Amino acid sequence: MSWDHPEIRDLLARALAEDVGPGDATTEACVPEGQQGSGYFLSRQAMIVAGTPLLELIYDQEEIEVVHRDGRMVDAETVFARVRGSARRLLTLERTALNFIQRTSGIATNAARYVEAVAGTGVQVLDTRKTIPGLRRVEKLAVAVGGATNHRFGLWDAVLIKNNHVDAAGGVAEALERCAGAGLPVEIEVRDVAELDEALAAGADHVMLDNFSPPEVASAVRRINGRAQVEVSGGITLETIRAYAEAGPDFISCGALTHSAPAADISFRLD
């Protein structure tokens, strides 16, 4: 996972083409050609900085100075990056840069809150595939900056047997048997204690407890008794994650890390 990835470079190019089109009419009318300028990115809230490598890719013809690198918690009204170059380009690139850095810093800040909420429990907070289409690589990188852990990237790098797979396969044991030769890590989602017992009997070594309450998770963890790794998922919020963590699972996966992360409040200003 790298910010300087061909998919991300292509994403940035498409974002700029979408915004600029054949030209920035306002800037070209207002700003003399050849005028130089400088500007800075300013946090308007306390936040985790994330996505600064994207600024370096977007401003590839400018002089960019990153004052606070990814992972740094900054207060409101903190300058975390500066850029110098063509005044026209600084203004033309402004919105695309802000759209990305607000999203990535917002996700990192949100993820950090979830990680902090389970501090001391030994539980790992995982992200999910609930990302904006086309932005998954960027969003998962931002999750990692915030201190949470990336779950599978897509459908190809791990087997996760969910409820519909179980139903389509004819049951828990049947689904596990069909996936035994996949050559990938295998995890299975269970909806109740009966399915949990069936999964354990079939040799599952990683189970996901779907929409269990914290007391039900605690009971299931005792029932499993170390025979499998335990993940909890389904409707986990910042208000409830601590109770789930204290119930004793190994992992908690939260779609809210990405799908419910508010954009960070960031401004770009010309000097």
Catalytic residue among 72, 82, 95, 129: 95
Catalytic residue among 56, 174, 177, 210: 210
107, 153: one domain: no
What would you measure as the largest C-alpha separation in the chain, in angstroms? 74
> Hey, how many other C-beta atoms are within 10 angstroms of the C-beta on 29?
7
185 in a structural domain: yes
217, 266: one domain: no
123, 255: one domain: yes
Token pair listed for 7: 């998919």
Angstrom distance (rounded) from CA 150 to CA 164 = 23
Q: Is 140 designated active site?
A: no
| pLDDT value for 159 | 97
pLDDT digits 0-9 by tens, 178-199: 999 999 999 999 999 999 999 9
51, 122: one domain: no
231, 169: one domain: yes
170, 46: one domain: no
Q: Is 271 designated active site?
A: no
Query: pTM of the full predicted structure?
Result: 0.96
Percentage above 90 pLDDT, the chain: 99
108, 145: one domain: no
* β-bridge mates for residue 206, sequence order: 229
**Do the Cβ atoms of 189 and 183 come closer than 8 Å?**
no
Q: Is 130 designated active site?
A: yes
62, 125: one domain: no
Number of domains in the chain: 2
83, 162: one domain: no
Backbone angles phi, psi at 95, to 5 degrees: -65, -40
Q: How many residues does the chain have?
A: 271
| CATH, residue 236 | 3.20.20.70
| pLDDT value for 269 | 98
Angstrom distance (rounded) from CA 124 to CA 231 = 9
21 in a structural domain: yes
| pLDDT value for 1 | 83
Q: Is 162 designated active site?
A: yes
Residue given tokens 């699972």 in the structure block: 249
Chain centroid offset of residue 136 CA: 7
229 in a structural domain: yes
**Do the Cβ atoms of 64 and 55 come closer than 8 Å?**
yes
49, 166: one domain: no
> Hey, how many other C-beta atoms are within 10 angstroms of the C-beta on 35?
10
107, 203: one domain: no
- Domain extent at residue 47: 6-115+262-270
Q: Is 75 designated active site?
A: no
pLDDT digits 0-9 by tens, 64-105: 999 999 999 999 999 999 999 999 999 999 999 999 999 999
| CATH, residue 48 | 3.90.1170.20
122 in a structural domain: yes
Catalytic residue among 70, 127, 189, 195: 189
Q: SS3 letters for 137-156?
A: HHHHHHHHHCCCECCCCCCC
* β-bridge mates for residue 4, sequence order: none
1 in a structural domain: no
Catalytic residue among 130, 136, 137, 191: 130
255, 130: one domain: yes
